Amino acid sequence: MNTNNNNSTTHHKIYWDNAANMQALQAESIDLVVTSPPYPMIEMWDEIFAEQDVAVKKALEKGDGPASFEAMHQILDKVWSEVYRVLKVGGIACINIGDATRTIEKHFRLYSNHARILQYCISLGFSNLPTILWRKQTNAPNKFMGSGMLPPGAYVTLEHEYILILRKGNKRNFKTAAEKLNRSESAYFWEERNLWFSDIWDLKGVKQRLNSQKTRDRSAAYPFELAYRLVNMFSVKGDTVLDPFLGTATTTLAAIASKRNSIGFEIDPQLEETISEQILAPNLPTASYDFLQKRIARHLDFVHQRQLLKGAKAFKYESLHYGFRVITRQEVKIRFEGLKEVKKLKNTTMEFEAEYEEYRF
């Protein structure tokens, strides 16, 4: 409805480097971190940890589970220290991590990755904020481990992962009128708030098979929706989002779709083809428009249902740019931008620019 021309761009850069040393990034230059590290004590990551520190290899060879766990976490610790350094005061780090169960030398136990990461991040100075449990129900026939129907040797199935939410320092301030307006335009709907800020997320996992022959079989990617929600919950348009364990670049895609800038670090250069294909996919602008359209369609459906239930008193406010009803004053200035195009910047290895246009409702 609004015909203002709001064309603009965001910038996305990928470093093929170990995130234990992000010296390319200045201290306090990042607004938000959204990431998922390799999970210690999950076998698919043994090699990548062992390549980074021989202590991991030695502990695994000795069959020493706790020592392997600790050595793997000491590798991740270096990255969390860097994350703390590069985050702005008031910036947030969202870390998706699952615990691991493993039998080593006939000894079955739980390796509590989320607790170990929390402990270290709190020691760095992070404030721990309420955590999200990502419920990942499985129907696999072998999901129950241990002694079956005979007590007491059966084990509870792990069907969730954690999203740790940590803040550096106190709440972020929006001082100038322009910053306040941008924050209002970055708002989400009331009913999205109710869903996104609930502590259990029931999101389906994603297809794990990587097509490229060059790299590992499975992507270990998280769903786009997971990254998209976190980006929209904890940053505003034009912010810079960092993923130090970029993988297939799901975080970059969520940042692009949300009009945020992004930076990724990835140690495995063989993922280059997969990442390029994702970011430069010809259907990305359409997919991102569809995603916005679905958000709006869900909102219109919510409005309709609430009006049926509560009649004329259901809504006090109206969206400034789109004319539909909204529940709160905070939603009035919500504004969406459609992705027009993503292009690789000339003479660079992995730098991209995304261009936006006013979303036509």
Ligand X SMILES: C[S@@+](CC[C@H](N)C(=O)[O-])C[C@H]1O[C@@H](n2cnc3c(N)ncnc32)[C@H](O)[C@@H]1O
What residues make contact with ligand X under the rule CB under 6 A? 18-20, 36-38, 48, 79, 219-222, 244-245, 247-248, 250, 265-268
Nearer to ligand X, 266 or 337 (CB): 266
Nearer to ligand X, 221 or 257 (CB): 221
Nearer to ligand X, 65 or 247 (CB): 247
Nearer to ligand X, 42 or 314 (CB): 42
Nearer to ligand X, 54 or 89 (CB): 54
Q: Distance (Å, rounded) from C-alpha 237 to C-alpha 32? A: 12
Nearer to ligand X, 201 or 336 (CB): 201
Written as one letter, the residue type at 307 is: Q
Q: Which residue's CB comes closest to ligand X?
A: 247
Smallest distance from ligand X to CB 111, Å: 16
Nearer to ligand X, 270 or 307 (CB): 270
How remote is the C-alpha of 16 from its chain's centroid? 19
Nearer to ligand X, 265 or 322 (CB): 265
Smallest distance from ligand X to CB 267, Å: 4
3-state SS record for the chain: CCCCCCCEEEEEEEECCCCCCCCCCCCCCEEEEEECCCCCCCHHHHHHHHHHCHHHHHHHHCCCHHHHHHHHHHHHHHHHHHHHHHEEEEEEEEEEECCEEEEECCEEEEECHHHHHHHHHHHHCEEEEEEEEEECCCCCCCCCEECCCCCCCEECCCCEEEEEEEEECCCCCCCCHHHHHHHHHCCCCHHHHHHHCCCEECCCCCCCECCCCCCCCECCCCCHHHHHHHHHHHCCCCCEEEECCCCCCHHHHHHHHCCCEEEEECCCHHHHHHHHHHHCCCCHHHHHHHHHHHHHHHHHHHHHHHHHHHHHHHCCEECCCCCCEECCHHHCCCCCEEEEEEEECCCCCCEEEEEEEECCC
Smallest distance from ligand X to CB 109, Å: 22
Smallest distance from ligand X to CB 51, Å: 9
Smallest distance from ligand X to CB 132, Å: 15
Smallest distance from ligand X to CB 45, Å: 8
Smallest distance from ligand X to CB 217, Å: 13
Smallest distance from ligand X to CB 124, Å: 17
Q: Distance (Å, rounded) from C-alpha 254 to C-alpha 1? A: 25
- 351 bridge partner residues: 13
